């Protein structure tokens, strides 16, 4: 209404900022964004249960950005949540054996949460820049596409195996 417009005390810069935030949230929630390595555009953050419970510590994105846990919790308020549980998890739904060579979206999410990036020692490429790699045995040599036999590797390290 005109009364709301007249009573808005925000500066032009603040109104424009608020509009960009709203537009970004609408775009993220639309589900119509592109894909990266077979996954819909998402922010995947790794952290520990202890950091979440204490509301202290940090979380790390798949791209390697370290974020304060308060910011992780704030972002989670506007997100679709997926939980990756590793302690005593069987992972049976994530095992494809020889039925498929390429990893599923669910397997990629688990690998990003577990590995956090390229698994070659001293490589600093984050998860978003990595590919799924058959670690235990290559697919061509009878390897299985099971989450516990896969890992993340950057393009050059994946091809060098």
Number of folded domains that form the chain? 1
Between the CA atoms of 141, 105, 128 and 79, what dihedral angle is there, to the nearest 10 degrees?
-160
Query: Is residue 21, in this structure, part of any structural domain at all?
Result: no
pLDDT of residue 39: 67
Beta bridge pairs of residue 98: none
CB atoms within 10 A of CB 107: 22
What is the structure's pLDDT at 82? 63
Give bridge partners of residue 60 from the DSSP assignment.
46, 66
Does residue 61 form part of some domain?
Answer: no
User: Nearest CA to 161 among 124, 128, 123?
Assistant: 123
Asked if residue 9 belongs to a domain, the reply is: no
Q: Domain limits at 98? A: 92-160
Query: Does residue 38 form part of some domain?
Result: no
Q: In 3D, which of 69, 66, 54, 159 has the Cα closest to residue 116?
A: 66
Does residue 102 contact residue 145 with C-beta atoms inside 8 Å? Answer: yes
User: Has residue 64 been placed in a domain?
Assistant: no
Cα 115 from chain centre:
11
Q: What does the pLDDT read at residue 87? A: 46
Note the pLDDT of residue 28.
Answer: 73
Is residue 52 domain-resident? Answer: no
pLDDT at 94: 66
123: how many CB neighbours lie within 10 A of its CB? 15
| pLDDT at res. 151 | 92
Residue 106 lies in a domain: yes
- Does a structural domain hold residue 68? no
**Alpha-carbon gap, residue 136 to 119, rounded angstroms:** 13
pLDDT in tens, the chain (161 residues): 899 888 999 999 999 999 999 998 888 777 677 777 666 667 788 887 788 888 888 988 888 889 999 988 888 876 666 656 554 455 444 666 777 788 888 888 889 888 989 999 999 999 989 999 999 888 889 888 888 899 999 999 988 87
58: left (phi over 0), alpha (psi -120 to 50) or beta: beta
């Amino acid at each position: 209404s005109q009364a709301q417009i007249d009573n808005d005390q925000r500066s032009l810069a603040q109104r424009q900022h608020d509009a960009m935030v709203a537009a970004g949230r609408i775009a993220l929630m639309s589900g119509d964004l592109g894909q990266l390595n077979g996954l819909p555009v998402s922010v995947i953050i790794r952290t520990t249960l202890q950091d979440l419970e204490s509301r202290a510590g940090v979380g790390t994105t798949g791209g390697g950005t370290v974020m304060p846990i308060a910011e992780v919790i704030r972002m989670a308020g506007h997100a679709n949540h997926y939980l990756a549980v590793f302690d005593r998890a069987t992972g049976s739904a994530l095992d494809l054996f020889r039925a498929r060579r390429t990893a599923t979206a669910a397997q990629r999410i688990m690998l990003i949460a577990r590995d956090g990036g390229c698994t070659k020692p001293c490589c600093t490429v984050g998860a978003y820049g990595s590919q799924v790699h058959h670690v235990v045995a290559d697919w061509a040599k009878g390897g299985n596409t099971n989450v516990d036999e896969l890992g993340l590797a950057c393009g050059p390290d994946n091809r060098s195996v």
